[in-house]
């Protein structure tokens, strides 16, 4: 099981060992990384498909590639915690 402890020093994310990460993003309980090939990898929790991994997937403990964007070259990601999610 992957620890959810806070860390004060950088640590390589388990599951991204074979990805040359160009950028990383995080907000609350969702994290994302973009590979140098434009691939998008996400992990965390969602209630309404925010991870982009398909309906019914509410948690990804290790990074998973967003296959629906496999034909795209992702360069930037915005992760926004909306007021709707807080209600």
Instruction: Calculate the average pLDDT of the chain.
Output: 84
pLDDT at 85: 44
Per cent of the chain over pLDDT 90 is 51
Q: What is the pLDDT of residues 46-59, one digit of tens each?
A: 887 778 898 788 89
Q: Would you list the DSSP string of the chain? A: -------SS--PPTT-TT--EEEEEEETTEEEEEETTS-EEEEEE-SSSTTSS-TT--EEEEEEE-GGGTTS----------HHHH-
Residues of the chain scoring pLDDT < 50: 85-87
Q: What's the pTM value of the predicted model, to 2 decimals?
A: 0.80
């Amino acid at each position: 099981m992957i620890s959810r402890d806070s860390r004060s020093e950088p640590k390589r994310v388990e599951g991204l060992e074979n990805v040359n990460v160009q950028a990383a993003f995080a907000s609350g309980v969702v994290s994302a990384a973009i590979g140098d090939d434009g691939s998008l990898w996400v992990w965390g929790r969602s209630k309404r498909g925010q991870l982009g991994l398909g309906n019914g997937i509410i948690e990804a403990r290790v990074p998973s590639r967003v296959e629906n964007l496999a034909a795209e070259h992702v360069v930037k990601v915005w992760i926004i915690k909306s007021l709707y999610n807080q209600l």
